Structure 1
């Protein structure tokens, strides 16, 4: 199995622009929105961070933590968001490692529980997440699964 480097954006702030572009490409959320959240994290305005998996200097996986991931349950915060692993890097434990890192980091800062929304079933349970409820997206009629990690 290949060795990858896992970092927070605070550990590698020079990746901010590259990371914002990478997340924008994956999720189509405006790059400026990512940059705004990343700046707040880098300036210690929030402990809600950004986590990356690198293959040398190439971003191959990542996720963030934000107040609310575009759903109607504003009381369920913070939210892990933008979880993504490049297709050719999947099934190597990268997402699981990132999830483990973020859970430990948030707990070390006294931030617990944390939440995430997803349309995946059975993936997050492998990493200690529990189904909590269904939530409605901000601009959607469909309901989405909300998970909690205590």
Structure 2
């Protein structure tokens, strides 16, 4: 299958659709995504938004923000909102997007990058390493990963 992997800056016209898509997956208000996307599109930040498209349909995506709702403000930036549509999983889409994020940020002098997750074994396949436990918005601490 041939998919298109893009940054939102490459297709700014799909900003509304992307914000809706992320909101529907994570239950975070669309306006929160739009605000972050606008900062990226306007050049206010280099923390971007990355998408996998099957034609015009968004089938995977993730963003980069300062802090993904955890107490360790010194660990930034954070990959957030990692999601691949269920019927598209197992094809390496998330891995390709993760590599894209790391390469894009590194090209801008931004490294390391962090993310929080409750997955074990997934991110290690793409060069991420467990870093520490952090307290997020959940009662239980979350796993913090780093990519250098």
TM bucket (normalised to shorter chain) is over 0.9
Over residues 93-112 of structure 1, what are the superposed CA-to-partner deviations in whole Å (9 max), with x where a residue is unaligned?
Answer: 00000000000000000000
Match of 1:130 in 2: 129
Q: Which residue of 1 aligns with 2:144?
A: 146
Q: How does 1:1-150 map to 2 (within 5 A)?
A: 2-137=1-136, 139-150=137-148
TM-score (norm 1): 0.98
- Partners of 1:126 and 1:38 lie apart in 2 by 28
Partners in 2 of 1:94 and 1:140 — Cα distance? 27
Q: Within 2, Cα distance between the matches of 1:24 and 1:72?
A: 23
Moved over 6 A (4+): none
Tell me, in whole angstroms, the C-alpha distance in 1 between the residues paired with 2:87 and 2:115.
Answer: 24
For the residue of structure 2 that corresponds to 1:81, the secondary structure is strand
- Report the alpha carbon displacement of residue 140 of structure 1 after superposing the two structures with TM: 2.6
Q: Distance in 2 between matches of 1:113 and 1:97?
A: 18
SS at match of 1:52: strand
Count of aligned positions: 148
| Partner secondary structure for residue 71 of structure 1 | coil
Name the CA distance, whole Å, in 2 between partners of 1:71 and 1:142.
12
TM-score of the superposed pair, with normalisation by structure 2? 0.99
Gaps (5+ residues) in structure 1?
none
Unaligned runs of 5+ in 2: none
1:53-106 Cα distance to aligned partner (Å, 9 max, x none): 000000000000000000111110000000000000000000000000000000
> What is the rounded CA distance, in whole Å, between the counterparts of 1:59 and 1:143 in structure 2?
31
Equivalent-residue separation in structure 1 for 2:28 and 2:123 (angstroms): 23
